[in-house]
Amino acid sequence: MAETGTRTGDTLPKGFRSAEHGWPELARIPHPPHRIPLLGDLLGASRSTPLQDTLRYARQLGPIFRRKAFAREFVFVWGAGLAADMADEQRFAKHVGLGIANLRPVVGDALFTAYNHESNWQLAHDVLAPGFSREAMAAYHPMMRDVAERLTGHWDQELAAGRSVDVPGDMTKLTLETIARTGFGHDFGSFERDRLHPFVTAMVGTLTYAQRLNSVPSPALLRRAGRRNEADIASLHRTVDDLVRERRATGGGPGDLLDRMLDTAHPETGERLSPENVRRQVITFLVAGHETTSGALSFALHYLSLNPAIAARARAEVDRVWGDTAVPGYEQVAKLRYVRRVLDEALRLWPTAPAFAREARADTELDGDHPMRRGAWALVLTAMLHRDPEVWGQDAERFDPDRFDATAVRARAPHTYKPFGTGARACIGRQFALHEATLVLGLLLRRYELRPDPAYRLRVTERLTLMPEGLRLRLERRTAPRSTAPAAPAGPVPDEEVSAPRCPVHRAGD
């Protein structure tokens, strides 16, 4: 039956945990062949790559399909019309799917794990949204640039030693230090360590465990892993508690996200975040603020290394826009239109948060064809929506940043590109991530030529988020004078593409 929770006003239930309770005509929705009792559709499935398995079934079964794992049935949607219908905020809302719900022992009712009937999401969002204003972003920019210089210093050392660079590992260090410095005034010393910081190790452990829970009928089968997960959660909590204690001891900081969490009252109610809520939000920002961005940068660098003509065009734009400026300013990053398109295209092919769940606010019909009861939910398979040949063409698997030039964006239907989710619960840090990633790509293109390993074939690691596995690149330091060749024309840019910071809750297209 449905888990209804407490309902007041326009709040929503937690949703049906298995699709057969919420979809009256579920039998009409196709599922993989060879379904067997108890296991469902798990025959031949991979525990380590469930998303990539699901993409394979999506191609076979069409724009709406279902899979069953043990006693739980899941409905997946990826067709453009179906996904656009589920983006309707009047009829659908965020659903905290099982993978995200598995993280609630770590962060409780934080921004991306709160159920719709829980009030802390709106409180935290309203208190923290000004931390992503244009003024706040401009203040973060010098710190982002400083961390990026630590990355280039490390890569210069690897280049001098004749070694290739560990792209996912170094992007993880970069993005962790960036969110820690800008949001919380903390330095994890990632680039001075031979191994990942224990916070990252614990974070990866909790994300991996959350995904593994979906592949077993009962958590009792993961007792040993469960004990490790409890230790990882305790480690995350200790790290954040120490960080908050340090800030309180100093009597305040530079007005960053942590200061807002500790000192800012809601502008209308006067309510403040509780100490427990502060801890949950800090962990959320440290994890979500670096895990997805590091994956996006890693995929972008992979595709740039494989496409030298695209890399040359992006590099020419950096040279033209930044010129001989030693330290690029905040406004100069927003002018890197083509570099931003490179990033957008990498997020199209591999959205690092590859799906999001939506539930019905009331009994309805999806796209006028599939009845859904109030609380019924489905997973919008973003990674397949971004490959829909009816939207992106028969060459949708090809990396092509020109899919995001102004004309192409205007010609596409709304809600066909959703790497940051949709609606009121879309990623609050979207513009932070895009500015950081565009800045870093610009700095790396300006400094290096990227050379792929000819033997490497892209493998994607799944731990709720996506990351290229084992990606290493060889570097060559640029020695020739910077090109003055014209970059991509900079015409008017629609709301879907513009990089000026804004709250995604209110952006056009949602």
Nearest CA-CA partner of 475 in 496, 500, 453 = 453
| Strand 72-77 versus strand 165-166 pairing type | unpaired
Catalytic residue among 74, 420, 422, 432: 420
Catalytic residue among 292, 293, 364, 416: 292
CA–CA distance, 360 with 374 (Å, rounded to integer): 5
Using the structure block, give the residue that is written with the tokens 């239907």. Answer: 413
Using the structure block, give the residue that is written with the tokens 């560990």. Answer: 166
Is 292 catalytic? The answer is yes
CA angle 111, 440, 489 (to 5 degrees): 105
What is the DSSP-derived secondary structure letter of residue 393?
-
CB atoms within 10 A of CB 20: 16
CA–CA distance, 293 with 178 (Å, rounded to integer): 11
Catalytic residue among 184, 427, 438, 465: 427
CA–CA distance, 15 with 374 (Å, rounded to integer): 8
Distances 28 to 20, 23, 65, 338, 453 between C-alpha atoms, Å: 12, 10, 9, 44, 46
- The alpha helices in 307-448, defined as continuous H runs, are 308-322, 330-334, 337-349, 382-385, 389-392, 406-411, 430-447
Is 191 catalytic? The answer is no
Using the structure block, give the residue that is written with the tokens 């007792």. Answer: 223
Is 427 catalytic? The answer is yes
Asked if 375 contacts 15 with a C-beta cutoff of 8 angstroms, the reply is: yes
Active-site positions?
292, 420, 427
